Amino acid sequence: MAEYQNTTVSSGEMTQRFIEFVMMQAQNAAFMLGQIPHPQTGKAEVNLDMAQMLIDQLVMIQEKTKGNLNSDESRILAGAISNLQLAFVEAVREEPSNKTVIQPEASPQVEEKPREESAPEQTDPDGKRKFVKSYGSG
């Protein structure tokens, strides 16, 4: 069994790791947007659902780390998100004629029962709407 080594990591090393993480996620999203060709086929493939999930994860990281990043980390994360969001919009507008679009597998259709009550709309102190998911009375 390998021993666990408790080592301290310098601030510079943590910054480098964070930037590498952001760039790796951004590269994965770019691949899903068809900006990077598939290594085996050489063709660009688009999977908008997966690209959206990766972009949303970077936005979540940005929100969760707000106030805890140095200027380089913040700048690189914000730039990656901005570039990917623009690329996503362009990919949605593009015709799939020159790219292979990967469709997610259809999920089984579930019959919805009518809801007896809907949850009231709520707002938080900032005036933003809060959406409450209701699964009906149970």
* pLDDT per residue as tens digits for the range 23-41: 999 999 999 999 998 888 8
> Would you tell me which CATH number, out of the four given (3.30.70, 3.40.50, 1.10.10, 1.20.58), belongs to the domain 11-103?
1.20.58
Q: What is the pLDDT of residue 99?
A: 52
Concatenating the DSSP letter of every residue in 23-74 gives HHHHHHHHHHBTSS--TTT-S-EE-HHHHHHHHHHHHHHHHHTTTTS-HHHH
Report how far residue 127's alpha carbon sits from residue 52's, in angstroms, rounded to the nearest whole number.
27
* Segment 70-112, tens digit of pLDDT: 999 999 999 999 999 999 999 998 855 555 555 555 555 555 5
pLDDT confidence tier of residue 9, bands split at 50, 70 and 90? confident
Q: What is the pLDDT of residue 50?
A: 95
59 phi and psi, to 5 degrees?
Answer: -65, -40
What pLDDT is recorded for position 104? 56
Residues in a beta bridge with 122: 130
Q: Which residue has the higher pLDDT, 27 or 117?
A: 27
Neighbouring CB atoms inside 10 A of 114's CB total: 5
Q: How far apart, in whole angstroms, are the C-alpha atoms of residue 15 and residue 10?
A: 9
Quick one: pLDDT at residue 19?
96
Q: Report yes or no: 87 and 30 within 8 Å, Cβ to Cβ.
A: yes
pLDDT for 129 equals 58
- On the question of pLDDT at 114 being above 80, the answer is no
| Structure token digits, residue 88 | 């996503």
| pLDDT of 136 over the 90 cut | no
In this predicted structure, the answer to whether residue 127 has a pLDDT above a threshold of 70 is: no
Please give the Cα distance from 74 to 65 (Å, whole number): 9
The ranges assigned to domains in the chain are 11-103
Q: What's residue 108's pLDDT?
A: 52
